[in-house]
Amino acid sequence: MSILLSKESRVLVQGLTGREGSFHAEQMKAYGTNLVAGVSPGKGGSTQLGIPIFDTVVDARRETGADVSGIFVPAPFAADAIMEAAAAGIGLIVCITEGIPLYDMVRARAFVAAAGVKLIGPNCPGLVTAGQAKVGIIPNHINREGSVGIVSRSGTLTYEVIQGLSQAGVGQTTSVGIGGDPILGLSFTEVLRLFKDDPATRAVVMIGEIGGSDEEAAADEVISPGLGKPVIGFISGRTAPPGKRMGHAGAIISGSTGTAASKLKALTQAGAQVCDTIEEVVAAAAAAVGQPSSAVHR
């Protein structure tokens, strides 16, 4: 079991013929992802990486039964690509693109919500269900099958946790990067609920950062009422000054909201185990799932 993505998922890539899209589609395929289609307007009928390319998502879905889309199209066109996927009935949309204009994203978010489909990102590394499938840019070799779920706003920090866990012999179910933008699809709350209902996930690592109040909301809405499994929390940006955007568009302390202190307090009060370093996160997750070697088959 896992959440959101499995080896049965039929994945298409929007922007597959672009530089980023083709590189990462190849990596996704190499990981074993069931990659069924690419979409590039004007290039329908061709093939790339042995995969058929379609002009529209509707065509791709009709011909291949794709149900998940990874989006690698440039920022000015990415919100439209998200809506195209939603309108075509794609159930899970993963938008990797960084730098989408705010109003485009606000509209796309409302469109996706009305269509009743799930969006991960934008400005995210995507997700991996270890040993099964990947949509996005998380490096293939670091993942290992196991029982820890990961949800994070950061890309590289997620890779650090995955690699640290894998090297300690602790595998993962699904690792989800929800993205660093202020307007996101799935929130911590929604992903934590999915992990709650996934019997294969025995502990969850949550990597937050400064900005917004999604971490506080997750603490109140899902962690505090009880997830039924340990939650290990980490917040980056403890020393970031207010009013400065720290790389991610969403990583900014505005007035008194979005501080690391507020998030750490909320997580602690909700019963999460809060860690100070990534090394501590790895140790805590390993301890939470017990001695991993017997549970992991690689």
Within its chain, how far is the Cα of 141 from the centroid?
17
In whole angstroms, how far apart are CA 242 and each of 164, 182, 236? 30, 16, 14
Stretch that binds other proteins, among 4-12, 33-41, 158-166, 220-228 (CB under 8 A): 158-166
| Binds other proteins (CB under 8 A): choice among 146, 233, 237, 292 | 237
Cα 59 to Cα 176: distance, rounded to the nearest angstrom: 28
Stretch that binds other proteins, among 36-44, 50-58, 151-159, 190-198 (CB under 8 A): 151-159
Identify the active-site residue in 24, 141, 248, 297.
Answer: 248
Cα 56 to Cα 8: distance, rounded to the nearest angstrom: 22
Tell me which residue of 258, 218, 6, 28 sits closest to 129, measured CA to CA: 6
Instruction: With beta carbons less than 8 A apart as the criterion, state whether 66 and 84 touch.
Output: no
In whole angstroms, how far apart are CA 159 and each of 57, 69, 99, 134, 233? 30, 22, 21, 14, 16
Judged by CB, which is closer to other proteins: 147, or 211?
Answer: 211
* Residue 158 interacting with other proteins (CB under 8 A): yes
Stretch that binds other proteins, among 42-50, 85-93, 168-176, 241-249 (CB under 8 A): 241-249
Q: Report the nearest approach of other proteins to the CB of residue 38 (Å).
A: 20
For residues 49 to 78, the per-residue mask of contacts with other proteins, x marking binding by CB under 8 A and - elsewhere, is --------------------------xx--
| Binds other proteins (CB under 8 A): choice among 47, 261, 276, 290 | 276
Dihedral (Cα; 14, 19, 23, 24), 10-degree rounding = -40
| Binds other proteins (CB under 8 A): choice among 87, 168, 278, 287 | 278
In whole angstroms, how far apart are CA 166 and each of 15, 169, 229, 273? 31, 5, 20, 20
Site for other proteins in 112-131 (CB under 8 A): 125
Judged by CB, which is closer to other proteins: 139, or 271?
Answer: 139
Residue corresponding to tokens 């730098």: 99
Judged by CB, which is closer to other proteins: 244, or 298?
Answer: 244
* Residue 214 interacting with other proteins (CB under 8 A): yes
Instruction: With beta carbons less than 8 A apart as the criterion, state whether 28 and 154 touch.
Output: no
Instruction: With beta carbons less than 8 A apart as the criterion, state whether 153 and 208 touch.
Output: yes
Site for other proteins in 92-111 (CB under 8 A): 99-104, 106-107, 109-111
Q: Is 248 an active-site residue?
A: yes
Q: Report the nearest approach of other proteins to the CB of residue 48 (Å).
A: 20
Cα 136 to Cα 128: distance, rounded to the nearest angstrom: 8
Residues that bind other proteins (CB under 8 A): 75-76, 99-104, 106-107, 109-111, 125, 137-139, 142, 152-160, 163, 180, 182-184, 207, 209-214, 217, 236-241, 244-251, 255-256, 276-279
Active-site residue numbers? 248
